[in-house]
Structure 1
Amino acid sequence: MFNNAQTCGACFEIKCAPEAGPNCKPGQPSLIVTATNLCPPNFAQSADDGGWCNPPREHFDIDQPAFLQIAEYKAGIVPVQYRRVPCNKKGGIKFTITGNPYFTLVLVWNVGGAGDVTDVQVKGDNEVKWTPMTRNWGQKWQTNVKLVGESLTFRVRASDGRSSTSWHVAPKDWQFGQTYQGKNFK
C-alpha cells in the first residue's frame, strides 16, 4: 500500500468496515491518519494469523486511542474501509537536516495537500543550478553535494504534481539535527 515507502506522508480516512459488525463504534465514525512508515512483514506466519503486514495485504497499524475512535477494544483487529484524502497540516513543510558535511539527509514532513513527496531539489546560495536529491527511504532525501555554510532553499514536488519552493529556509549557519519550516501546500 505504501508503494515501497513512497506513499509515506499521504493521508487516509479509515473507518470500521460493516463486516466487523458489533465491533464497530455506533454511527461508523472515521479518523484521518498520515502514513508514516512501513509495517514489517512476518513471512513465518500466514496473512490471516499474525502476518498482517505480509504483501500484498494492506494494513493500518494504529495506536489504541485512535483504534478506540472507530472500534471496540475487544475487537483487536478489524476489517476497515479506507480512502486517500488530502492532508490538512498546520504550519509549513518541515525539513529536518541530518548527515555530515559530505552527506546531507533531509526528512521532508508535515506536507499538506497530497502529503507524499515525489521529488526534492536543493539550492545553496552559492549554487547557480538546483541539485536533485535522491530518495533514501520514505520521505528522507539525500545528496552528496557539500552544503555546509550556505543558506538552503528547497523545492518540493508532491504526488499531485504541485510544487512548493521554500526560499532560504535554512540560514547559512544551519546545523545538522535541526528542523526548519518552509512554505506549505494549501
Structure 2
Amino acid sequence: MASSSSSVLLVAVVLAAVVCGAHGIAKVPPGPNITASPASYGNKWLDAKTTWVPLTDKNWDPLPPSHFALSGHAFGSMAKKGEEQKLRDAGEVEIKFRRGKCKYPAGTKVNFHVEKSSNENYLALVIKFLQGDGDVVGVDIKQKGEDKWTELNESWGAVWRIDTPHKLIGPFSVRYTTEGGTKTVVDDVIPKGWKPDTSYEAKGAY
C-alpha cells in the first residue's frame, strides 16, 4: 500500500500480473513470499503455490479497504499446473501474503521525480527505485551552501512536498529516511534550474 508507495510492494516475477490494492491495507513485515496455500472458497479448498506479484496502492473501485484484486493471469499463476481456470473460477478467496523487499535490476539508480505541479515556491518530490529497506518515512532537502536541512511534508502516497515563501532555486541535496531507520544523503541531486515533471537520477552507489 503506500507506494508504490506507500505501501505494500511485492517483487514481480509474474510479469503480466496487474494488482490493485484498496487504500488502507495494513502494513505487514517484509517477507520472502506471497502465499496462497491453500486458498479456500465455500467449504472447499484449493492447493496453491507461492507466487510473486507487484501490488500498487491505487484502486478506484468501491472495495473494502482490506481487499486487493489480482488479474486473471496473476491469480491463475498461483494454481497447480493445469488447474489455473479452476482457481480463477473460485471467485473471492482468502489469500495469505507477505510484503517482499523491493529488488530492481543491478545498476538501477535511485530517481527523484519533481512533480509537474512544482514551482519556485512549491516543490513536490517522489523518490523511486529504492532497493530493499521499505517505505520512505521522511524526506529533507538542503540548499547548496546551507547547513540546515528543511523537512518536507508527506502529501499523499509517495509524494513529499514543501511550501515556502522563499524561492526554491537549487541545487538541493536530498536526505531520505526509510522505515528501517536508514538515512541516505544524495548531494546536489536536484540541480539549479530544475524543472517540473522532470526526473533526476542519483549519481554514485545509491
Q: TM-score range by the shorter chain?
A: 0.7 to 0.9
Q: Secondary structure at the match of 1:85?
A: coil
Is 1:112 matched up with 2:122? no
Normalising by the residue count of structure 2, what TM-score does the alignment of the two structures yield? 0.68
Instruction: Count the aligned residue pairs.
Output: 167
How is 1:60-139 mapped onto 2 (pairs within 5 angstroms)? 60-71=68-79, 72=84, 73-90=88-105, 91-98=108-115, 99-139=118-158
- The one-letter code matched in structure 2 to 1:120 is V
Q: Secondary structure at the match of 1:106?
A: strand
Equivalent residues of 1:92, 1:182 under 8 A apart? yes
Q: In the superposition, relative to structure 1, how do residues 120 and 140 fare at CA in structure 2: closer, same or farther (>3 Å)? A: same
Moved more, 123-132 or 172-181: 123-132
- The one-letter code matched in structure 1 to 2:6 is C
How is 1:1-186 mapped onto 2 (pairs within 5 angstroms)? 2=1, 5=2, 8-12=6-10, 13-20=33-40, 21-22=45-46, 28-33=49-54, 35-40=55-60, 42=62, 53-55=63-65, 58-71=66-79, 72=84, 73-90=88-105, 91-98=108-115, 99-145=118-164, 146=166, 148-182=168-202
- The one-letter code matched in structure 2 to 1:139 is A
**Aligned partners of 1:70, 1:86: CA distance in 2, in Å?**
20
Normalising by the residue count of structure 1, what TM-score does the alignment of the two structures yield? 0.74
Deviations 1:38-87 (A, max 9, x none): 44573xxxxxxxxxx324xx222233433332243333533211112322
- The percent identity for this pair of structures is 24
Q: Which runs of 5+ in 1 are unaligned?
A: 43-52
Q: Which runs of 5+ in 2 are unaligned?
A: 11-32
Q: In the superposition, relative to structure 1, how do residues 10 and 89 fare at CA in structure 2: closer, same or farther (>3 Å)? A: farther
- 2:15 aligns with none
Q: Secondary structure at the match of 1:65?
A: helix
- The one-letter code matched in structure 2 to 1:166 is V
Residue 180 of structure 1 deviates from its aligned partner by: 1.4
Q: In the superposition, relative to structure 1, how do residues 115 and 138 fare at CA in structure 2: closer, same or farther (>3 Å)? A: same
**Aligned partners of 1:132, 1:94: CA distance in 2, in Å?**
19
**Aligned partners of 1:10, 1:184: CA distance in 2, in Å?**
27
Q: Secondary structure at the match of 2:68?
A: coil
Deviations 1:70-109 (A, max 9, x none): 2433335332111123221231222110222221111122
**Larger strand share, 1 or 2:** 1
Equivalent residues of 1:11, 1:114 under 8 A apart? no
